[in-house]
Structure 1
Amino acid sequence: MNTPISAQNVRPEPGAINSSCILALDLGTTTGWALRSHDGLITSGMVSFRPGRFDGGGMRYLRFTNWLTELDRLSGPIAAIWFEEVRAHRGVDASHVYGGLMATLTAWAELRGVPYEGVAVGSIKRHATGKGNAPKEAMIAAARARGFSPVDDNEADAIAILHWAIETNGGLR
């Protein structure tokens, strides 16, 4: 019986991270994203996966899947994904949404052989601001200091994750 190879075990060639399209995500109902394209251009933003009034429970995850696929089609192919790995949530609903988005993301990546890795919140904040428990305002200020204009802390976090990935060679070992 053949054991499937996990995308998490597939690694880009050494140095390939420098010329590949990579994606960083701050998962949540409002998801922050930052993408470094093949030519080095960084774009970022936020996207809402808030369910509509008549949406079923799984619609936010289908929209997230479609969004990832469209991003990959228009800007990719995506070579690697990093996301904020949250271990504690403020509420049950937030933890359920995060878990569903993470499951959707990892399944999407596994199907396409795209490596992915979570980055601890403290590591992202420490890299961006020098403090592992930096507040949202400090994360936004750090993104602005790098020349970005994030609309909120979700986008600022995604920018910080992307820079962490680029500057630490992604942490994919």
Structure 2
Amino acid sequence: MADLPQRATIRGARPESPLPPQTARTILALDLGTTTGWALRGYDGLITSGTVSFRPGRFDGGGMRYLRFTNWLGELDRLSGPIGSIWFEEVRRHTGTDAAHVYGGLMATLTSWAELRGVPYQGVPVGTIKKHATGRGNADKLAMIASARSRGFSPADDNEADAIAILLWALETHGGAR
């Protein structure tokens, strides 16, 4: 996918402790939305994060954002993978109908992509992520950004901060394994 660098913004990377070869695998965490936040712990222990926009273009059909998302996942898997597991923010309530439709479409695309490749995936409730990151299950966007910064990251926005929090939750509570 030639336009990956234009669509994704990579923020600061931070190495984690070295992993034994038998446990080293790529873990992807996602905050799904038109602007999707992502964080990835590579097999080498390096954590990278960023955002990618799936906003449709003026002349795009309704399914183009999901095709771009599928292509982006494939490119991420090819360049950083293979992806060993995927964790995503499990949203149960949206403030708007459009946001709910976009989230549902991205989640359906993600889960079918993962099923086709045998990649385990799991949603993490919003309150669980926020409580782990900040100590409060109802933390606001600024608190999530501050939490990521306190851990040595430089998130561009709350989407990236949420993805970082999901990844850290997965690593610290499950070791990234299912």
TM-score, length of structure 1 as denominator length? 0.89
Cα gap change, 1:81 to 1:92, in 2 (>3 Å): same
Find the counterpart in structure 1 of residue 67 from structure 2: 62
How much identity, in percent, do the aligned residues show?
80
Higher relative contact order (CA 8 A, sep 6+): 1
CA contact (8 A) 2:88 2:123 kept: yes
Q: Confirm whether residue 26 of structure 1 aligns to residue 64 of structure 2.
A: no
Q: Aligned-pair distance for 1:18?
A: 4.2
CA contact (8 A) 2:39 2:164 kept: yes
TM-score, length of structure 2 as denominator length? 0.86
CA contact (8 A) 1:82 1:118 kept: yes
Cα gap change, 1:16 to 1:158, in 2 (>3 Å): farther
Cα gap change, 1:17 to 1:140, in 2 (>3 Å): farther
Aligned AA (1:144): R
CA contact (8 A) 1:31 1:47 kept: yes
Cα gap change, 1:139 to 1:16, in 2 (>3 Å): farther
Q: Confirm whether residue 105 of structure 1 aligns to residue 133 of structure 2.
A: no
Cα gap change, 1:132 to 1:68, in 2 (>3 Å): same
Q: Partners of 2:22 and 2:41 in 1: how far apart? A: 10
Q: Aligned-pair distance for 1:169?
A: 1.3
The CA deviation string for residues 108-136 of structure 1, in whole angstroms up to 9 with x for no partner, is 00000000000000000000000000000
Unpaired runs of at least 5, structure 2: 1-19
Q: Confirm whether residue 49 of structure 1 aligns to residue 49 of structure 2.
A: no
The CA deviation string for residues 59-93 of structure 1, in whole angstroms up to 9 with x for no partner, is 00000000000000000000000000000001000
Find the counterpart in structure 1 of residue 161 from structure 2: 156
Which residue, out of 66, 88, 93, partners 2:93? 88
Aligned AA (1:52): G
CA contact (8 A) 2:85 2:177 kept: no
The CA deviation string for residues 126-162 of structure 1, in whole angstroms up to 9 with x for no partner, is 0000000000000000000010000000000000000
Q: Aligned-pair distance for 1:29?
A: 0.2
Unpaired runs of at least 5, structure 1: 1-14
Aligned length: 159
Q: Confirm whether residue 40 of structure 1 aligns to residue 51 of structure 2.
A: no
Q: Aligned-pair distance for 1:27?
A: 0.1
Cα gap change, 1:130 to 1:68, in 2 (>3 Å): same
Aligned AA (2:105): G
SS in 1 for 2:156: coil
Q: Partners of 1:28 and 1:112 in 2: how far apart? A: 22
Find the counterpart in structure 2 of residue 78 from structure 1: 83
Q: CA RMSD in A?
A: 1.5
